Amino acid sequence: MFGYQTVGELMKDFRNGIFPRITEDKQIENLSENSDKRGMKTLLDGQFTSDFYMKANTADMHDYYLNIRKYHKNTCRDLVSYFRRFREVFFTNRVDEIRSATPRVRSRIMDSFRKFGQYYLYKYNNEECIDLVEKIIRRHNLSAGMTEHGKLYIVDDNYIEERVKQLFAVDGEIGTIVKFGIFSGLREDEMVYVYNKPICPDLSGCNCSKLHVIDKPNGVSIVLINWQRGNKKCYFSIIPTNNFKTFKSLDSFAYRPHIRSAHEYMKAKTKDDKITFRWLRKAHYNVMCRSMKPFEANVLAGRAKSVDAKHYAMYELNEMSDKYIEAWRKFDVSVN
């Protein structure tokens, strides 16, 4: 009836918003419904009414972010939380209050409402909300001064070396977690993902969703992870074999209490509030750049293009693992 050969083809177009095809009459009907309900159309005409954003189903928004957009559950929670807190400010004449927030908070507010625009498009096949959000941001100059991300910082090598030595001196279960964090450079949710994923024994090009691990003679393991959510990518990591096996053999591992406890312990151990769990990832990148080219370190950090990651996964793993060992050797750290 609709010209599809299989149900799979139909469902693919349905997920991509191509099917069912919305006619011009249907689009006009949608706009008329919005106008009648004093919702989006009325707001675009300059009359501030609250129906469309105050009555938004935040539970359904959360499910959309989690199941359709595949964001991490913490990201989904934050997006909905910021939307709830600031919707009566963002869409009203109080919007200028947002400019007084810090760049970090403003960035999260704008991200939450941009994502809400995408949700509105998904839910009602209507792009007006996306346009409205961008107009509000531009008109009220909410992105002014958002330059924190591009700032340059100078960190003394001795500072990094001293902190790394302090962290590697930590023993026990917390020591294993801290070492795994700094050796792998993985994000916190990626560490939880790696712990919970079983290892596939097939190393002949298997494309299943399990981890694939290759133990190298030089004492490190290549762990193929292949996990992506939103803009965050995690291709593979290089980890000392002993540390990886010890980490995987932990009785349990989760954000609470393990990462949270390690986070607090590191600050107490070093007497430095800057040493958070996120700092481990930054330190890993800093160390890798001592022997690797920046784009090679970006592959391990999950910030490179997928084509670059595939190239190194297929052809350069032996050389990269040697550079990995050399990088840690410059900080007097043995991976064996």
50 & 86 share domain: yes
User: What is the pTM assigned to this prediction?
Assistant: 0.64
161 & 285 share domain: yes
* H or E element in which residue 188 lies: helix 188-196
Q: Summarize pLDDT for 118-131 with one digit per residue, the tens.
A: 998 888 887 888 88
Residue 211 falls inside a structural domain? yes
**Can you give the residue range of the structural domain that contains 58?**
37-139
Contact, 330 vs 291, CB < 8 A?
yes
129 & 217 share domain: no
For residue 4, the model assigns a pLDDT of: 75
105 & 51 share domain: yes
For residue 29, the model assigns a pLDDT of: 44
Residue 11 falls inside a structural domain? no
For residue 52, the model assigns a pLDDT of: 74
Residue 80 falls inside a structural domain? yes
Cα atoms in the 13 Å half-sphere on the side-chain side of 198: 4
125 & 49 share domain: yes
Tokens 């099917």 belong to 19
Residue 85 falls inside a structural domain? yes
Residue 62 falls inside a structural domain? yes
CATH number at residue 281: 1.10.443
Residue 79 falls inside a structural domain? yes
Q: Write out residues in the chain with pLDDT < 70, as ranges.
A: 1-3, 19-51, 146-155, 230
Report how far residue 119's alpha carbon sits from residue 129's, in angstroms, rounded to the nearest whole number.
9
172 & 321 share domain: yes
For residue 48, the model assigns a pLDDT of: 42
174 & 272 share domain: yes
Q: Summarize pLDDT for 194-226 with one digit per residue, the tens.
A: 999 999 988 877 889 899 999 999 999 999 998
Strands, sheet with 220-229, edge to edge from the N-terminal-most edge strand: 212-215, 220-229, 232-240
DSSP assigned state of 23: P
φ, ψ for residue 41, nearest 5 deg: -65, -40
DSSP assigned state of 200: P
Amino acid at site 1:
M
The number of domains in the chain is 2
170 & 283 share domain: yes
Contact, 75 vs 111, CB < 8 A?
no
213 & 82 share domain: no
For residue 39, the model assigns a pLDDT of: 46
Helix (H, G, I), strand (E, B) or coil at 333: coil
Q: Summarize pLDDT for 257-271 with one digit per residue, the tens.
A: 899 899 889 988 888
60 & 187 share domain: no
Tokens of 35: 């106008």
For residue 148, the model assigns a pLDDT of: 52
186 & 311 share domain: yes
Residue 3 falls inside a structural domain? no
Domain boundary among 87, 112, 139: 139
179 & 302 share domain: yes
Contact, 49 vs 39, CB < 8 A?
yes
